[in-house]
Amino acid sequence: MHSDLISDHFAVHTLVKVHKLVRLQKKVTEIRRLKSIDREAFVSDLLASSIFTDPENDIASLLAQYNTDVRAVLDKHAPLITKRLTVRPDNPCDCEEIRTCRRSLRRWERKYCARVLPSTENALLRP
């Protein structure tokens, strides 16, 4: 008995609504790698700068001198690096409640995998 209605030879037509892909925006930012600074050389260069050797007399000039000297020493030891970052939209499926549930699930999985089954325990105790 063969039915012509159920077959893998019929074409299936459907309409699928798909959201248009949004072109992600790029953002340019500048960073300094402050953790890679050699502290001894940095301190010695700061102490050799004009803010310590020849400080200005009035506060406005002293502030300008401080800014230029510190920026010059920073540029020497941790130069500005320009990075292009992709700005991504927030993921609506990733909220604090879901992260809490995932953490709880992983904790229970670790407990489950770490438990000793009686069959496993007997197999280990047998000579």
pLDDT of residue 46: 93
How many distinct structural domains can be found in the chain? 1
Looking at the domain assignment, is residue 98 inside a domain?
yes
Looking at the domain assignment, is residue 74 inside a domain?
yes
Looking at the domain assignment, is residue 97 inside a domain?
yes
Predicted model pTM = 0.52
Looking at the domain assignment, is residue 87 inside a domain?
yes
Write down the mean pLDDT value for the chain: 85
Matching residue, tokens 């019929």: 10
Q: Which residue range is the domain that position 52 belongs to? A: 25-125
Matching residue, tokens 């320009």: 82
CA distance 8 to 3: 12
Task: Give pLDDT tens digits for 60-115.
Answer: 999 999 999 999 999 999 999 999 999 887 777 778 888 899 999 899 888 887 87
Looking at the domain assignment, is residue 111 inside a domain?
yes
DSSP 8-class letter at 115: P
CA distance 26 to 86: 5
**What does the CA dihedral 66, 67, 73, 76 come to, rounded to 10 degrees?**
-160
